Amino acid sequence: MMTSVRMKKILVTGALGQIGLELTPVLRKRYGKDNVIASDIRSPSKNFLNSGPFESLNILNRTDLEEVIKVYDIDTVFHLAAILSATGEKNPQNALEVNLFGVYNILEVSRKLNLTRVFVPSSIAVFGPETSKINAPQDISLRPRTIYGITKVTGELLSNYYYYKFGLDVRGLRWPGIISTSPPGGGTTDYAVEMFYYAVEGKRYKCFVREDTVLPMMYMPDCLKSAIMLMEADLSRLKHHADFNVGGMSFSAGELAAEIKKRIPSFEVDYEPDFRQEIADTWPKSIDDSDARIEWGWSASYNITSMAEEMINKLMKVRNT
């Protein structure tokens, strides 16, 4: 990966979530511990607090956000604070508020204070049931059925608006379901992480989607790589800004269970779909990410086999210590 000379002081919002917990240390290693300020509405663990600067921050409080950015002389934001798909469906008003006004506050403060670059992630949840299930295209009409998807489409549009209207360098991509050892935060693809947790603990797992449900997924190291690659990409090469499709791997819940079973033969899964099946059924099975490949050189490193191998090894190691 190319090293950026432009990101000097970084603010991470939602740093205690599934992605923030892993992105923050990677950014600190790359840009310097004291140059990456983590923030969240929740309180951090002692370990996290000792690992670098942390600020308690509700993204809906624009005055506090502005203050933190000024005090630390922030020039770059990775905006991860959000309400995810499954949690969002339980309280749509809250999802709307946090996701829409969170993005709006970040963009507005970044414009006002003339920040260098802002990362606002989107999701495959921007797609709706009308989108072709295989290789969902990059530039199409987006008609999601979930409140989360609606806020993500709006976030993309707002981010692109700030780029074209005000010249704010906002970048974003449509992550698929992220698989990691860090715990997921209420998304529809959480079953793909939970299966590993249960398998390693020797427990039977009740999966909330059907065995034949296929969704696009990505392993955390690829997720972090995609964020950093996009943020370090040469602006002059980008034709898209806040709405890149990115692909990792695609598999059914049953295929993942079988992959885990190869390594933990006693692992068993029951399939009992709940409200999250309906959400999953509106999303594509795979993603066409050719524009990300062309514009900033994207390609995923992990497939289902290498991901499962590494996930089990890491979780076993934690369990045995």
Ligand X SMILES: NC(=O)c1ccc[n+]([C@@H]2O[C@H](COP(=O)([O-])OP(=O)(O)OC[C@H]3O[C@@H](n4cnc5c(N)ncnc54)[C@H](O)[C@@H]3O)[C@@H](O)[C@H]2O)c1
Report, as residue numbers or ranges, the catalytic residues. 148
CB 104 within 8 A of CB 60: no
Residue closer to ligand X, measured from CB, 16 or 200: 16
Q: Which residues of 103-124 are buried (b: 16+ CB within 10 A; e: fewer)?
A: bbbbbbbbbeeebbbbbbbbbb
- Cα gap 148→73, rounded to integer Å: 31
* Piece of the chain touching ligand X by CB under 6 A; list 110-118, 182-190, 284-292, 303-311: 182-190
Among 7, 81, 142, 158, binds ligand X (CB under 6 A): 81
Total binding residues toward ligand X, as defined by CB under 6 A = 29
Q: Which of 11, 38, 98, 153 contacts ligand X by CB under 6 A?
A: 98
Touching ligand X, residues 261-300 (CB under 6 A) = none
Comparing CA positions, the residue from 64, 67, 68, 54 lying closest to residue 21 is 54
Q: Which of 213, 223, 219 is nearest to 283 (CA)?
A: 213
State the nearest-atom distance from the C-beta of 187 to ligand X, in Å. 5
Cα atoms in the 13 Å half-sphere on the side-chain side of 142: 24
In degrees and rounded to multiples of 5, residue 293 shows phi and psi of -65, -45
Decide if residue 146 touches ligand X (CB under 6 A).
no
Of 123, 131, 250, 282, the residue at the interface with ligand X (CB under 6 A) is 123
Helices (runs of H) and strands (runs of E) counted in the chain: 13, 14
CB of 202 to ligand X, least distance (A): 26
d(CA 172, CA 293): 14
The contacts of residue 253 (CB under 8 Å, 6+ apart) are 191, 192, 195, 207, 209, 210, 211, 212, 213, 269, 271
Q: If binding is defined by CB under 6 A, does position 178 make contact with ligand X?
A: yes
Question: Should residue 154 be labelled a site residue for ligand X when binding is judged by CB under 6 A?
Answer: no
Nearer to ligand X among residue 62 and residue 261 (C-beta): 62
40 binds ligand X (CB under 6 A): yes
Name the segment binding ligand X (CB under 6 A); options: 53-61, 206-214, 240-248, 267-275: 53-61
Interacting residue with ligand X among 88, 144, 149, 177 (CB under 6 A): 177
Q: Are 303 and 251 a contacting pair, CB within 8 Å?
A: no
Radius of gyration of the chain (CA): 19
Q: Does 233 bind ligand X (CB under 6 A)?
A: no
103 binds ligand X (CB under 6 A): no
Cα distance between residue 169 and residue 103, in whole Å:
14
Instruction: Tell which residue, 22, 23, 7, has the closest CA to residue 74.
Output: 7
Other CB atoms within 10 A of residue 262 CB = 12
List 1, 5, 42, 167, residue binding ligand X (CB under 6 A): 42
Neighbouring residues of 92: CB distance < 8 A, sequence distance ≥ 6: 147
> The tokens of 320 are what?
């045995």
Among 7, 10, 12, 16, the residue binding ligand X under the rule CB under 6 A is 16
Closer to ligand X by CB, 20 or 128: give it: 20
Residue nearest to ligand X (CB): 17
User: Is residue 307 a contact residue for ligand X (CB under 6 A)?
Assistant: no
Residue 121 interacting with ligand X (CB under 6 A) = yes
Residue 59 makes contact with ligand X by CB under 6 A: yes
Position 227 contacts ligand X (CB under 6 A): no
* Least separation in angstroms between CB 185 and ligand X: 2
Closer by beta carbon to ligand X, 84 or else 253? 84
* Residue ranges in contact with ligand X by CB under 6 A: 13-14, 16-20, 40-42, 57-60, 80-82, 84, 98, 121, 123, 175, 177-178, 184-187, 189
